[in-house]
């Protein structure tokens, strides 16, 4: 079964989109040049300046309590409670609570629902010291101060919710500095030819000679009628070693036809191994198993051929 069902011009853009998607999965921002410049797209990523791990660029909020499971989770609204904190005495008041202990004498207070519809309002009264307030009391219920601030707390442990400071995805790194790195990508979409061979057109003059430039050969093949997407990712040096050095002079022609090596190239993407690592990494992050996270990150660097784009290259910063 061949790719004859897709016109070759259309197929080129499918290859580019497939490669862009693989990069997006790995936190790259992908841009297309305005004019045809031999570069098919530009990939940009934020990485930690200290350890070169991926950098989380969005704002993440976490529970400040290191022992709480919400400390390592990207929290959303259901994970925290809106409360108010008094700037004068430090008392934290949760207006949604239906039970309160007296802020003055710690006695359990009685509560009466005074308004059922709309904003529910309870009247709280201490039978020990006579202190009272309602759910809607705006001033501090302990000292009466009007200096109060919004204060989100964790719904599990009631500690403060804070923005994450270091956004390095390496759990052993506390760097607060990041950098942006840029890679240029050239995609060659290849067809399965008669006889099952993969071939793509190549002209030496089109190859950009830069360490930060990468060539990706994308091919769509069939195995037992099952569609398969293949990626072959190389730096310019790797490409020259594998494809150019045997016959450099023949590659100056417009229609030089190249075929990926039939012997296993280390630059072929092994999707199954990669997905296995990613899956294990997800559960290791859930378990907060830092040793395993570090081990799997190292595995991914080895297994994932796209990871070579992540390595420090002279000229990055
Ligand atoms: Zn780092
Ligand atoms: Zn009291
Ligand atoms: Zn107060
Ligand atoms: Zn917590």
For 290-299, the pLDDT digits (tens) are 899 999 999 9
How much distance in Å is there from the Cα of 138 to the middle of ligand 1? 43
The ligand placed nearest to the CA atom of residue 144 is 3
Confidence of residue 124 (pLDDT cuts 50, 70, 90): very high
The ligand placed nearest to the CA atom of residue 124 is 2
Tokens standing for residue 187: 């995609």
How much distance in Å is there from the Cα of 92 to the middle of ligand 3? 8
Higher pLDDT, 217 or 116: 217
- Do 68 and 54 sit in the same domain of this protein? no
Give pLDDT, residue 247. Answer: 66
Q: Could you give the count of Cα atoms lying within 13 Å of 120 in the half-sphere of its Cβ?
A: 10
- Do 50 and 191 sit in the same domain of this protein? yes
Please give the DSSP secondary-structure letter assigned to residue 69: G
The ligand placed nearest to the CA atom of residue 65 is 4
Of the residues 163, 184, 215, the one at which a domain ends: 163
Of the residues 144, 163, 182, the one at which a domain ends: 163
How much distance in Å is there from the Cα of 153 to the middle of ligand 2? 24
Inter-residue contact 265 to 241 (CB < 8 Å)? no
Mean pLDDT, the chain, whole residue set: 87
The ligand placed nearest to the CA atom of residue 109 is 2
pTM: 0.73
Cα-Cα-Cα-Cα dihedral sign, residues 99, 105, 107, 113:
negative
Q: How far apart are CA 283 and CA 167, in angstroms?
A: 20
Tell me if 121 is assigned to some domain: yes
- Do 51 and 94 sit in the same domain of this protein? no
Give pLDDT, residue 262. Answer: 61
Is the pLDDT at 3 greater than 60? The verdict is no
- Do 47 and 193 sit in the same domain of this protein? yes
How much distance in Å is there from the Cα of 80 to the middle of ligand 2? 28
Of the residues 163, 185, 211, the one at which a domain ends: 163
- Do 183 and 225 sit in the same domain of this protein? yes
- Do 186 and 44 sit in the same domain of this protein? yes
10 Å CB burial of residue 294 (0-12, 13-18, 19+) is middle
- Do 50 and 69 sit in the same domain of this protein? no
The ligand placed nearest to the CA atom of residue 147 is 3
What is the rounded (10 degree) CA torsion for 196, 258, 272, 11?
-80
Confidence of residue 59 (pLDDT cuts 50, 70, 90): confident
How much distance in Å is there from the Cα of 50 to the middle of ligand 1? 5
Tell me if 84 is assigned to some domain: yes
- Do 202 and 133 sit in the same domain of this protein? no
Q: How far apart are CA 138 and CA 300, in angstroms?
A: 53
Tell me if 234 is assigned to some domain: yes
Tell me if 3 is assigned to some domain: no
Number of domains in the chain: 2
- Do 115 and 181 sit in the same domain of this protein? no
How much distance in Å is there from the Cα of 161 to the middle of ligand 3? 20
The ligand placed nearest to the CA atom of residue 64 is 4
- Do 131 and 27 sit in the same domain of this protein? no
Tell me if 293 is assigned to some domain: yes
Which range marks the domain in which residue 244 is found? Answer: 8-58+170-310
How much distance in Å is there from the Cα of 132 to the middle of ligand 2? 8
10 Å CB burial of residue 103 (0-12, 13-18, 19+) is buried
How much distance in Å is there from the Cα of 78 to the middle of ligand 4? 12
């Amino acid at each position: 079964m061949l790719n004859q069902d897709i016109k070759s011009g259309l197929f080129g853009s499918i290859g580019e989109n497939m490669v862009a998607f693989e990069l997006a999965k790995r936190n790259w921002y992908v841009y297309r040049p305005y004019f045809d410049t031999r570069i098919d797209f530009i990939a940009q990523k934020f990485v930690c300046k200290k350890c070169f791990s991926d950098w989380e660029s969005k704002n993440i909020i976490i529970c400040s309590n290191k022992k709480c499971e919400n400390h390592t989770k990207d929290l959303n609204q259901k994970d925290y409670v809106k409360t108010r904190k008094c700037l004068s005495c430090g008392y934290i008041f949760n207006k949604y609570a239906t039970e309160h202990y007296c802020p003055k004498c710690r006695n359990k207070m009685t509560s009466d629902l005074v308004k059922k519809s709309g904003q529910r309002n309870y009247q709280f009264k201490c039978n020990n010291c006579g202190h009272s307030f309602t759910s809607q009391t705006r001033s501090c219920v302990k000292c009466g101060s009007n200096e109060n601030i919004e204060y989100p707390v964790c719904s599990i442990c009631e500690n403060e919710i804070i923005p994450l400071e270091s956004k390095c995805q390496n759990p052993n790194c506390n760097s607060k500095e990041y950098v942006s790195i840029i890679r240029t990508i050239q995609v060659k979409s290849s067809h399965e030819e008669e006889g099952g061979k993969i071939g793509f057109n190549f002209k030496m003059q089109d190859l950009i000679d830069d360490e930060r430039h990468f060539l990706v050969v994308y091919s769509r093949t069939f195995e037992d009628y099952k569609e398969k997407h293949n990626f072959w990712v190389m730096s310019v040096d790797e490409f020259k070693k594998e494809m150019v050095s045997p016959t450099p002079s023949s590659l100056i022609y417009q229609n030089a036809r190249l075929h990926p090596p039939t012997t296993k190239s280390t630059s072929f993407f092994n999707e199954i191994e990669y997905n296995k690592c990613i899956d294990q990494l997800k559960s290791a992050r859930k378990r907060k198993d830092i040793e395993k996270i570090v081990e799997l990150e190292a595995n991914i660097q080895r297994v994932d051929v796209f990871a070579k784009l992540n390595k420090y290259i002279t000229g990055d910063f």
